[in-house]
Amino acid sequence: PIVSRGHPFAEDVLGGDLPSNFSELSLSYDGSADPARHLRSFDNIAVLHRYSDVVSCRAFLKTLKGSAQDWFHQLPVGSIDSFEKFSSLFPNQFASARKHEKTYLTLINMQQKEGETLRQYIARYTKECVEVPSASEENKAGGLTRGLRPGKYIDSLAKRPARSFDELLERCSKYVNMEELEADFTRNDKTKAKQVEERPRQDDRRATPKESRVEERSKGPRYEHYKPLSAPQQEILETMEKRGEDKLLAQPKPLPPPRKFSASKDRYCRYHREYVHSTNFCRELKDEIERLIRVGNLKEFVIKDRERQDDRREGRESGDKRRRTDEQLDRTVNKGIIHMIVGGPKDGDSHRERKRTYRGKGVANEVAVVQV
């Protein structure tokens, strides 16, 4: 008999015939995966094809590979006489490979990630719900609501709470469609804007570098009023670079190349890193410095109101002093001066008399100054 050959199946199981339309199963188990999941997958096939008890035993054995098949052949001879007994021994033997069952705490701790769409979050959450068979409908609904990020859907649930988990998912599907529709509109708008931006305009195609620079200069300043600075723009930029604060500056816009290249230091812009214009006269750098000042940076380079008043006062005093000096000079220039020599010999004196006068009397010549 077949049983005498040492097979774990009973004689009734071994003696039964397989249906003529029986086909090999693609399902397999080697002892490393969850045995309960493998058993459920086989049950689905057996129900679909209406396997009898005998066919179920022999078909299930066909799915065992490796260590799982080794285990089966170690069972006592003729001990398996029904699929019910076979299916009860199998999961117990491979219980160590059984997947750890999650609890409802897994659902409570789930959160919708930043940038994760509502559809993606719901799909991830419902997948976890399958892994938590012990979770009640109330736990599932509470976990889903708790993990949602602020948005229209959570606002709707706050106004009108869902009565069940199924209702929660049904209402969620409406907001999923709304969210995806808004995302489509946003993508379309960005695509159109990018196409318009990249489309070359007729004026741009014919513009020369010189015309581009004129157009750049004609745009005018970004701000109506600028804070007075206590240092040149180049000095401020160098100080920011030493502090590592130059990262606060926006990336400079590329400028068209000049028609005539000049490597003069006077025309080097430290901000653009090009020989285009002086750093101190860079309009874009001026706008960036003003922007940083308005958000609370570079305050040490701003001239305070009192300093400005002192500068104005010193300027006025210096101007008054300069005007007084100029007036004095003007008065001096307008006056006439005549130099006269007084003393000495007179006309008609002989040479001898003149000589006697100088030697004997020691006449001292005087110069008289007469202002007119």
What letter represents residue 277's amino acid?
A: H
Structural domain that includes position 297: 216-301
Out of 59, 77, 97, a domain closes at 97
What is the per-residue pLDDT for 213?
47
What are the residues whose beta carbons fall under 8 Å from the beta carbon of 253, sequence distance 6 or more?
284
Is there a domain that residue 352 lies in?
yes
Q: Is residue 363 part of a domain?
A: yes
Q: What is the pLDDT of residue 58?
A: 92
Candidate from 33-37, 135-139, 211-215 with smallest mean pLDDT: 211-215
| Residue 17 in domain | yes
In a domain, 315, yes or no: no
**pLDDT for 159:** 83
Q: Looking at the structure, tell me whether residues 363 and 289 fall in a common domain.
A: no
Lowest mean pLDDT among 163-177, 214-228, 239-253: 214-228
- The number of domains in the chain is 4
Give residue-wise pLDDT tens across range 180-230. 887 777 776 666 666 656 555 544 444 444 444 444 454 668 898 899 999
Is the pLDDT assigned to residue 156 strictly greater than 70? yes
Checking if the pLDDT of 2 tops 50, the result is no
In a domain, 205, yes or no: no
* CA distance linking residue 296 with residue 300, whole number of Å: 10
Range of lowest pLDDT (55-64, 175-184, 363-372): 363-372
**132 and 116 inside one domain:** yes
84 with 123, same domain: the answer is: no
Tell me the CATH number at 135: 1.10.1200
Whether 239 and 187 share a structural domain: no
Instruction: Judge if 132 and 191 occupy the same domain.
Output: yes
Q: Are residues 46 and 80 in the same domain?
A: yes
208 occurs within a structural domain: no
- For residues 112 and 89, state if they share a domain: no
Closest CA relative to residue 3, chosen from 16, 17, 15, 19: 15
Mark whether 74 and 108 lie in a shared domain: no
Q: What is the CA radius of gyration of the chain?
A: 51
Residues 65-87, mean pLDDT to the nearest whole number: 93
Residue 282 lies in a domain: yes
Residue 154 within any structural domain of the chain: yes
The mean pLDDT value of the chain amounts to 78
